[in-house]
Structure 1
Amino acid sequence: MGNKQQFDGMVMVVTGGAAGIGRQIAEQAAWSGCRVAIGDRDADGAQRTADELGAGMRGYSLDVTDETSYREFLDKVTADFGPIDVLVNNAGVMWVGPYNEEPEKATEAMLAVNVLGVIRGVRLVAPMMAERGVGHIITIASAASKLAPPGEATYAATKHAVLGYLTGVREELRGSGVEISAILPAVVDTELARGTATGAAKMLSPDDVAQAVLDAIAKPRFITMIPGYVGPLVAGMGLLPQSIRDLLMRQMVPNQVKAAAEADRSAYQKRAMGA
C-alpha cells in the first residue's frame, strides 16, 4: 500500500458500501486519508455506516440499476466533495443453487446489478475522469470471472461479462490518464457468500479485498486475484488437456449446488433479489 500522503484528500466513491466488502473498503480508504462517498440502495444503512466511520464520509442513496438514481448520486457527490478520483464498483448480488431452479427475478437482478450496474458506473464516470486526465475505476469482480463453480452459473457469467467489458474499455481509455483495475477474490466472508464452500482456497475477509483495492491505487495493475496463487494456478491449468483440467477443477473448485442445499440463504436472496 502507498504511504498515507498519497491518499490524502482523494475522493473515492464506493457502490454497495453500506456493509460487507464495501464498508471495509470505505473504512480503510478513510483511514488512509480519502474522503469517501458511500452509495447504497439502503440509504439509511449508507448514512449509518458513514456516521460510524467518522469524518470525511457521507452516505447516499444509490440504485446502480437505475440511470436517474446514478446520475443524481454523482451530482450530489461532486457537489459535496468535488471531482471523483476513484470509483469502486462494489455493488453485487448472488443467487446460488441448481441452474434450473434459479428464479427469473434472481437472473435479472444479477445481470442488472453485476453487469449493467458496472457498465453504467464506468460509462458515467470515466468520461469525467478522462476530461481531467486522471482517475481510477476499480471493480470488485470475482475469481468466478475466471472460473464457474456449479451452482453459480449465472453469477459466474456476470463476472465473466464484467471482465470482458473492462478489458475492452481499458484499451479504449489507454493514454487518457484513467486506470482500470479488477479485483478477483475467491470466497469472502460476507452475507453474499454465506453458506457457500471455499474449495481449495482459503476463506478471505473483507479486509483482504479492501487492502487489494488500496494496493491497486498505490500501484495500478489491471487484474489482482486473491489469494495470489489462484491466478498462476488457473493459468497453468488452462494449458492442460480438457479431461485433466476437468478433474483438477472438480478437486479445487467447490460444488456450490451441494453447499447451498445445506445452507439457508433464503433471507439474503429474498432481500437482495426478491427471489
Structure 2
Amino acid sequence: MSRTRTLTGRVVAITGGAHGIGREIAATFTAAGARVAIGDIDLDAAREAAAELGVHASRLDVTDPDCQNAFLAEVTRELGPIDIYVANAGLMWVGSFTDEPATATRAQIEVNLLGVINGIKAVAPGMLARGRGHLITVASAGSILPTPGEASYAATKHGVLGYLKAVRAEMRGTGVHVTSIMPGVVDTALAAGTSSGAAKLLTPTEVARAVVRAAARPRFEVTVPAFIGPAVRVVNLLPRPIHDRICAALVPNQLQARKDQRRDYEAGFTGSQR
C-alpha cells in the first residue's frame, strides 16, 4: 500500500486550467500547499483565474507540441521542475455519430487524445531523469462505459486509458506514477444539457478533490463516484444480453437527454451552429 505524500512545495502544471474542473484542481492543489501553474488556450481567462488563485498562468494549446514544450519550460523556469502534470483539457460533442461534423470529430481527437499524448511525451522525460513524478489525466467514466450520443468523445477517452496503461507498463519501477481519473457527468460547460444517468451530477470540486487525493496517495484508476469502477468490473462479467440491459438502465443516453443549450458551446470548436 502506498504512503500518503506531502504536496507542500510540489510543482503542479495543469492543462485547461482556466475554467471548470481545471480551475478547481488548481485551487485545491494550492490549498494543499503546492506551487501551481495553469495553461489554457484562453489566456485572458487563465490570467484572471491565476490572479484570483495566486498561481502562474500561461497560454497553452495542447494540440501543438511546440506550445506544450514552451509551457513546460516556462513553468520550470518560474516554479522549478514539474512534480505533477495534470492533463485536464477536453472537448465533447453530443449527438448521433452519424450527424457528428468532421470538425467536431477532429477537434475531440486532437484535444482529448493527442493533447494528452503531446503533454506526457513532453513532461515525462524530465520526470524519468529525476526518478520521480506523477502523470495524472482527467479522463472520463466514458473510458469504460458505453455512452450513446458520445461516440467520438468516448473513443478519445478509451484511447487515453489505453495509452496510460501502456505508458505505466513502460515506466514501472522508475518512480514515476500514472493516474487516470474517470468521473461521471460533471456540472461544467462541457456537460451542459446532458444527463448524469443513475449517478448524481458531480461538481468540479468533487473531481478536484479526487485528483489531489490521488496525487497524495497514487493509484492508477480512480472513478468518481468510486462505485463506478467496481460496478463496471462486475457487469462486464455478465452475459452480453444482461450486460446490455443493465447498461441501458444505468448509463445515460445522451441522444435522449441532449438540450439546445449545447449549441453555443459546441459552436466554439466546430465553427457552426446546429
SS at match of 1:192: helix
CA contact (8 A) 2:65 2:119 kept: no
Instruction: Specify the SS of the correspondent of 2:37.
Output: strand
**TM-score scaled by structure 1?**
0.96
Classify 1:176/1:94 alpha carbon distance in 2 versus 1 (closer, same or farther; 3 Å): same
Seen in structure 2, the aligned counterparts of structure 1 residues 273 and 129 have a Cα distance that, compared at 3 Å, is: farther
- The 5 A counterparts of 1:159-198 are 159-198=157-196
Q: What is the match of residue 266 of structure 2?
A: 269
1:117-174 CA-to-partner distances (Å, cap 9, x unmatched) read 0011111101100100110010000000001211001100000000000000001011
CA distance in 2, matches of 1:159, 1:140: 9
Percent identity reads 51
Are 1:28 and 2:57 matched, yes or no? no
Matches of 1:149 and 1:263, distance apart in 2: 19
Give the deviation of 1:71 after TM superposition. 1.1
Distance 1:15 1:129 in 2: 17
- What is the correspondence of 1:1-275 to structure 2 with a 5 Å cutoff? 6-54=6-54, 57-260=55-258, 262-275=259-272
Residues 13 and 38, structure 2, Cα contact 8 Å, conserved in 1: yes
- CA deviations over 1:190-223 (Å, ceiling 9, x no partner): 0000000011111111111111111101111000
Q: Could you tell me whether the CA contact under 8 Å between 1:136 and 1:178 is conserved in 2?
A: yes
Work out whether residues 103 and 269 of structure 2, in 8 Å CA contact, stay in contact via their aligned partners in 1: no
Give me the whole-angstrom Cα distance separating, in 2, the residues matched to 1:131 and 1:273.
Answer: 40
CA contact (8 A) 1:129 1:135 kept: yes
Partners of 1:79 and 1:99 in 2: CA distance: 44
Q: What letter matches 1:6 in structure 2?
A: T
Q: 5+ unaligned residues in a row in structure 2: which ranges? A: none
Taking structure 2 as the reference length, the TM-score comes to 0.96
Distance (Å, rounded) in 1 between the aligned partners of 2:271 and 2:190: 14
Shift of 1:72: 1.1
Question: 2-side partners of 1:152 and 1:62: how far apart?
Answer: 25
Over residues 23-51 of structure 1, what are the superposed CA-to-partner deviations in whole Å (9 max), with x where a residue is unaligned?
Answer: 00000100111111100000111111000
Question: Match of 2:10, as an amino acid?
Answer: M
Looking at structure 2, the residues matched to 150 and 217 of structure 1 have their Cα atoms a distance apart, in angstroms, of 32
Question: In 1, distance between residues paired with 2:232 and 2:260?
Answer: 28
**Deviation string, structure 1 residues 203-253 (Cα, Å, up to 9, x no partner):** 111111111111101111000001111111111110111111111111001
The amino acid that maps onto 2:94 is V
Moved over 2 A (4+): 272-275
The two structures, once aligned, show a CA RMSD in angstroms of 1.2
How far apart, CA to CA, are the structure 2 residues paired with 1:235 and 1:125?
Answer: 32
CA distance in 1, matches of 2:186, 2:209: 13
Q: Residues 112 and 156 of structure 2 are in contact (CA less than 8 Å); yes or no, is this contact kept in structure 1?
A: yes
Letter aligned with residue 67 of structure 1: P
SS in 2 for 1:119: helix
